[in-house]
Structure 1
Amino acid sequence: MTTTVITVAPTGAESAKSDVPGLPVTLDELVHTAAECAALGASVIHVHVRDDDAAPTLDPGRLRATVAALRQRTDLIVQLSTGGAVTDSEDDRLAVLDAGPDMASCTMGTVNFGDDVFLNRWEFIIELHTRMQDRGIVPEYEIFDLGQLAALQRLLSRYGLPAGGHVHVDLVMGVPGGMPGTIDALAACRQALRDLPAATTFSATGIGRSSVPVMLAALSGGGHLRVGMEDTLNYAKGQPVESNMQLVARAVSLAQLAQRPAATVRQARELLGVGVG
């Protein structure tokens, strides 16, 4: 890879605005954050939506308004989370696709998520994958543990390549209950990626204190980066993150240091197969 696709995940569903003042939860805050992160070098935005009380929601109207606003104010690839919060129903999660994003997440298995369970039944994964095929929405397959890459290989062999024809996975590392945010875990995933189509690409997300080690390991292994306040609330020990821009700027700097500068949105679209057929 000659460039690095940088995804910003600015909000998530776990943190409260009252605890994290810089968390963008309104539509205006989200769009402002998106525009600033795009100017720094982000090419994809991974979106969770909040309601008027700043609580996570999968409200269809809010999702459609968010996609429209992001497209009006930025040229970022808009990727909606179909994970929502761990309490969201399968029907509500599938309905996320009705908002017409460029991309959407597709988590490849059930995982213990701290004290909760993030449930992803095999039948639900198939339905999400095939609906995205039908609608031309490009999936990002989210991988919380090594065995989920084997599940992805099974999915693709039985139900075909995703919309756009390119397979891209995001290794979510450091979630309590999932794989650790370590070089060894990332290396094991890279080995398992060899069982997937030859052009498969990956990005990596380090949760919490694993953020920087995972970024460095991903860049060294030819991967791409996802950063943001969904995943990381401390910039350094004893130094809370003030804005998503801090995290994007650091990722851009590390990518430049690795001689794989941040991809433009056009380059990211070409690589990921967004807008292809």
Structure 2
Amino acid sequence: MKIVVIGGTGLIGSKLVAKLREHGHEAVAAAPSTGVNTLTGKGLAEVLAGAQVVVDVSNSPSFEPAAVMEFFQTSTRNLLAAEAAAKVGHHVALSVVGTARMPENGYFRAKIAQEDLIEKSGIPFSLVHSTQFFEFVRGIADATTDGDTVRIGPVLFQPIAGEEVAQAVGRVAVGAPLNGRTEIAGPERFRMDEFFRDALAAWGDPRTVVTDSQARYYGSVPGERTLVPDDGAALGRIRYRDWLGQSAAT
């Protein structure tokens, strides 16, 4: 099966391409560095020729609200039009758990717009909603840092290893279209402030984590369950401390 992975050279995309190839699929990594640009449409017709499935795990280079909306709307429109011309039978997109619960957040609002375009395209589709990746935890801490203080809300938090995100997306890609969404998350659920307090200690990071119910998460204040999945989500097996230890070892 030919599967084109948009964003195939990135964190999740590179893992996904490798896993699909291990299982005998013709997985093609599509990104600006490989001559495919979804914002301009360059290279799309060529790379999609003969493809049965397209998986979009690309991300906006900017999280500024107008820029991220422009990225997801423009790239998704171009990609869906090229898929229709190539008669692609399954469009898979990676999205975020909780988008509908925090629509005032610019990034989440852009992902909602992306999903709306996919659902109305007429192309059979599957949406994979994931919680935050372990690989982004340090970036979240940095984004909420004020001097030597990290301000985090006491909301629920259930991050997942990028390796298991790629596995889940791969399973969906080779299956029948869901024409709906599925959720994935890590095996452990925490209070976000407690998680980061323990994480910084494990990193040997001297910053102090302060519990702040009004702390913003990339511009918005999340609710109690904004960042965690509903019942029935597929859960990974890798625990954060195990992942951190393995990452340090490698």
Q: TM-score, normalised by structure 2?
A: 0.39
Of structures 1 and 2, the one scoring higher in RCO (CA 8 A, sep 6+) is 1
